[in-house]
Structure 1
Amino acid sequence: MTNEVLRYTAFSDDPAGGNPAGVVLDASALDDAAMLRIAAELGYSETAFLTAPPAGLDGAPGRTFTLRFFSPKAEVPFCGHATVAASVALAERIGPGELVFATPAGTVPVSVADTGGGSLRAVLTSVEPHTEEIADADLAEALAALAWPASDLDPAFPPRIAFAGARHLVLGAATRARLADLDYDFARLEALMRRLDLTTVQLVHRAGPDTFHVRDPFPVGGVVEDPATGAAAAAFGAYARELGLVPEEAVLTLRQGEDMGRPGVLTVELRAGDPRVRVGGAGIRIPG
């Protein structure tokens, strides 16, 4: 393994698509300040740092790790796209198969498969999710920061805070045009998100029974928007199932990044009898 900062994109097999992440496969010599500095210098929404696993973590020898995530501004408890990026980077070195990560949010298993021609796809299993209501005043502040009138919300998607490793405010956009027109008050939304301990705001428009377009403002991470957000995808899957918007057992397709010129595809799998959510996608190294 190496302490070099690698660059991978997740949820796309095109280096120009999906969400780029930094990956440090051996961060054992780095303290928190060094990890934050690396993440800030790289400027991606998150960078993943791997170290030795804690004692007692179940998993095959050599395939268990501690995994931490830093945005340019702070450590975050969980990041789906950086988990996928780190998993693909590991699989290129130790082979596809099962991995287990101890993250600040809990234990996250990942399965990596070779889909042919050397392409790799990773599927993570979230920690147990939940949702909660948002206060009317906080919702009004979120809409004001986004410059969305309440009439732009899709009434089929009740606003909720959803968690599957990190907290995300889920808002449904009534039209695709509303979703495409994202121009928000960065400081105002950041202040609200810090007060509510939110990682992103998950903006969603339903394109079909199992297909959704999504966008994720991420001012608390120091970036305007996250191009493909695995943690929010997991939270949304739990939200959609809990509210009966999709069947208890379903495979959903989330399309993200198109409005940023970095298209990505996230697959969200819900299984009957299992509250956890599986989020999968391709990953590939960014040249250079």
Structure 2
Amino acid sequence: MIERYAAFTDSPSGGNPAGVVLDASGLTDADMLRIAADLGYSETAFVTERAGERYRVRYFSPLTEIPFCGHATVATAVALGPGEHRFVTNVGEVPVIVDTTGVATLTSVPPAVAELPAADLAALLTTLGWSAEDLDPELPPRVAYAGAFHPVIAAGSRKRLAELDYDVPALKALMTDRDWTTVQLVFRAGPDSFDVRNPFPIGGVYEDPATGAAAAALGGYLRELGLVPDDATLGLRQGDDLGRPSRITVRLVPGEPGVRVSGRAVPIPAE
């Protein structure tokens, strides 16, 4: 049975839609990829094994398997119901707590941040149609990881972020070659507030309306570069430019290696 949820929203018309299959024990890789492609959402989560509150979870986009997906994790956890769940993913174990109000909080695997080579930055800006003058000098380009790799590129203005119009084949080829899952484009609207957009051509989707894995990676990036306090709560706005508003909360806890990412998920009614 395929369930449909919208994650990081309290409305089925907002957030990022995700497919959820709570019993995929009898499905092959080809089956899961076909289901994800037929559904057409950016990701579908498949629970392939269960032992108590530990679940083996895999994520498929319409084109390929994805190592980790935050919004489908939130959707799956909410579908399972309130309580503490532990997801065994391709990148490690991810604990998720769902409260009685339908808010799920995942804690990512420990993040990592690396330099973005100058040649890669130049190629990325070319595919986006951006120039170096479009960037925010206070948030330097990096590649961040919290279960998947995402270049973090900060726009100097909200207008630049809004005018997203990239070269799909060129960006897809670059991301495939570099093993990037999405590109995390951000605009810092305030000390703890960010507008974000995430091109996702390798998954067969022009843009993700909400990207929990990239949100976790951004939290790790901001902490690593000392751009936010060690104890910080950040609000991310995503999907507004697509007409699917999404709200993601990122929490950094001193002494905790992972990054907490929280949001709601609601069922999408059958058509």
TM over 0.5: yes
Unaligned runs of 5+ in 2: none
Paired residue for 1:113? 99
Paired residue for 1:90? 80
Tell me how many residue pairs correspond in the alignment: 270
Contact 1:152 1:173 in 2 (8 A): yes
- 5 Å-filtered alignment, 1:66-77, equals 66-77=56-67
Amino acid at match of 2:99: A
Post-superposition Cα deviations, 1:121-161, rounded to whole Å, max 9, x if no partner, equal 10000001101011111100000000001100101111000
CA distance in 2, matches of 1:220, 1:256: 19
Post-superposition Cα deviations, 1:13-51, rounded to whole Å, max 9, x if no partner, equal 100000000000000110000000000011100000002
Amino acid at match of 1:190: K
Equivalent residue of 1:52, what SS?
Answer: strand
Unaligned runs of 5+ in 1: 54-60
CA distance in 2, matches of 1:263, 1:252: 17
Paired residue for 1:285? 267
Of 27, 30, 34 in structure 2, the residue corresponding to residue 30 of structure 1 is: 27
The answer to whether residue 81 in structure 2 is matched with residue 81 in structure 1 is: no
Paired residue for 2:186? 204
Paired residue for 2:111? 129
Note the C-alpha offset of 1:168. 0.3
- 5 Å-filtered alignment, 1:1-288, equals 4-53=1-50, 62-91=52-81, 96-115=82-101, 120-288=102-270
Equivalent residue of 1:199, what SS?
Answer: coil
CA distance in 2, matches of 1:275, 1:63: 22
Amino acid at match of 2:89: T
Note the C-alpha offset of 1:64. 1.3
CA distance in 2, matches of 1:284, 1:162: 29
Among the aligned pairs, what percent are the same residue? 62
Amino acid at match of 1:82: A
Note the C-alpha offset of 1:274. 1.4
Paired residue for 1:58? none
Amino acid at match of 2:93: T
CA distance in 2, matches of 1:285, 1:17: 11
Amino acid at match of 1:160: R
Amino acid at match of 1:22: G
CA distance in 1, matches of 2:157, 2:234: 19
Amino acid at match of 2:96: V
The TM-score with structure 1 as length reference comes to 0.93
CA distance in 1, matches of 2:227, 2:89: 29
Amino acid at match of 2:24: A
Contact 1:233 1:266 in 2 (8 A): yes
Contact 1:238 1:275 in 2 (8 A): no
The TM-score with structure 2 as length reference comes to 0.99
Note the C-alpha offset of 1:62. 2.7
Contact 1:233 1:268 in 2 (8 A): yes
CA distance in 1, matches of 2:246, 2:63: 24
CA distance in 2, matches of 1:111, 1:177: 36
Contact 1:87 1:110 in 2 (8 A): yes
CA distance in 1, matches of 2:139, 2:175: 20
Equivalent residue of 1:190, what SS?
Answer: helix
Paired residue for 1:56? none
Amino acid at match of 1:225: E
